[in-house]
């Protein structure tokens, strides 16, 4: 590539003095592992990737699709990586006790939790916290800060919070969309400047009168569609097991389908599945072995013959669920991950 000479060199020198050197290109080199190599790949284009540092992420879906459960798992992973996890609970519904059974450390400063009254308050507190954390140097620069906001649909703008119910009008209906447009552009810069990941959870609504195409939309206007680096749409398939009584079925978990509808890091519109289960005590867990096996079979990295899957470590054949159980009970998750990353 030709270097500036003559008049172009003089122009480059003048520009350098007037506006400064070119800024470094925006890139992502650090990630929070989602626990699923398949989802990591769908989000970031690499099985060892995941949620990007320094960016905004939106995850949305219908009620009970697994949004908060997945977010809790990622908050725990951020702590395991030596970082800090924060949670703004606009919904007032986060079960800290359940998250503890999954492995969440609730000691400050590794866990920061607040019930902000308004949209603005929640974002301001998160911004102040990440700036203070990075400035303190109490955690390594390459340790993650993951802040979850639950959820956009439940947040109330400052302009509406102190009004009586009979004072609310159409301006209040659209107030959240207006304020997100103002706020999210600032939060995107704060995330980048402090190498923090801001994960906004959201719900879905049905648009009336739509006969063709997707009839659903997300509350809070279109700002997140522009400012998020990653947008993940969730859906679910319920799982049932036979109960004690005849013809009784007991809910035991669900398969969560995560479709990455926007990614500035890799090809979008790819889907990853994760299996969420409840044990006999009602504790929640993600059976990542089950989900990863399905991905490896699909990619041809594990051989399937009929209903049986060949496990290369011992040369034996298993059905899908018994193989996942064998891997979980014998601590073979690392060996499974090596296959996924190969």
Asked if residue 320 belongs to a domain, the reply is: yes
Same domain, 201 and 244: yes
Distance spanning both ends of the chain, measured CA to CA: 36
The Cα 189–Cα 48 span in angstroms is: 25
Mean of pLDDT values over 78-100: 96
Condensed to tens digits (0 to 9), the pLDDT of residues 185-205 reads: 999 999 999 999 999 999 999
Span of 69-83, 212-226, 308-322 with lowest mean pLDDT: 212-226
User: Which candidate, 104, 107, 112, 140, places its Cα nearest to that of 128?
Assistant: 112
Same domain, 61 and 99: yes
Asked if residue 337 belongs to a domain, the reply is: yes
Same domain, 125 and 238: yes
Same domain, 326 and 187: no
Same domain, 194 and 330: no
Domain extent for 134: 26-161+169-286
Same domain, 138 and 189: yes
Condensed to tens digits (0 to 9), the pLDDT of residues 268-278 reads: 999 999 999 98
Asked if residue 5 belongs to a domain, the reply is: no
Q: Count other C-beta atoms under 10 Å from residue 326's C-beta.
A: 16
Mean of pLDDT values over 56-61: 98
Cα-based distances in Å from 328 to 61, 72, 140, 144, 308: 29, 20, 32, 27, 18
> Which stretches within the chain are classed as H helix?
7-19, 37-44, 67-80, 96-102, 119-136, 158-161, 170-193, 223-227, 288-298, 320-329, 333-341
Give the number of residues written for the chain.
342
Same domain, 247 and 201: yes
Q: Cα angle at 33 between 91 and 63, to 5 degrees? A: 30
Asked if residue 2 belongs to a domain, the reply is: no
Asked if residue 47 belongs to a domain, the reply is: yes
Q: Is the pLDDT of residue 211 over 80?
A: no
How many structural domains comprise the chain? 2
């Amino acid at each position: 590539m030709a270097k500036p000479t003559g008049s172009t060199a003089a122009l480059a020198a003048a520009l350098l003095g007037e506006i400064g050197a070119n800024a470094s290109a925006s890139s992502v080199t650090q990630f929070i592992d989602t626990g699923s190599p398949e989802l990591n790949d769908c989000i970031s284009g690499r099985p060892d990737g995941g949620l990007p540092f320094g960016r905004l992420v939106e995850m949305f879906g219908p009620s009970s699709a697994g949004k908060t459960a997945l977010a809790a798992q990622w908050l725990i992973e951020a702590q395991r990586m030596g970082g800090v996890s924060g949670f703004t609970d606009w919904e007032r519904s986060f079960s800290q006790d359940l998250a503890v059974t999954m492995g969440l450390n609730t000691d400050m400063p590794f866990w920061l939790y607040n019930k902000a009254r308004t949209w603005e308050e929640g974002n301001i507190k998160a911004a102040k916290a990440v700036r203070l954390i990075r400035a303190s140097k109490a955690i390594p620069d390459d340790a993650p800060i993951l802040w979850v906001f639950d959820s956009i649909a439940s947040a109330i703008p400052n302009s509406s919070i102190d009004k009586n119910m009979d004072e609310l009008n159409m301006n209040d209906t659209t107030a959240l969309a207006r304020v997100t447009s103002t706020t999210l552009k600032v939060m995107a810069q704060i995330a980048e400047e402090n190498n923090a990941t801001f994960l906004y959870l959201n719900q879905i609504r049905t648009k009336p009168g739509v006969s063709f195409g997707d009839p659903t939309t997300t509350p809070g206007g279109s700002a997140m569609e522009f400012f998020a680096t990653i947008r993940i749409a969730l859906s679910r398939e319920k799982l049932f097991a036979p109960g004690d009584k005849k013809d009784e079925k007991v809910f035991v978990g669900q398969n969560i389908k995560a479709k990455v509808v926007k990614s500035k890091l890799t090809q979008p519109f790819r889907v990853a599945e994760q299996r969420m289960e409840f044990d006999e005590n009602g504790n929640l867990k993600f059976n990542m072995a089950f989900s990863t096996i399905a991905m490896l079979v699909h990619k041809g990295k594990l051989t399937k013959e009929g209903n049986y899957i060949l496990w290369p470590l011992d040369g034996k054949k298993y059905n899908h669920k018994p193989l996942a159980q064998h891997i979980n009970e014998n601590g073979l998750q690392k060996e499974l991950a090596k296959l996924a990353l190969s």
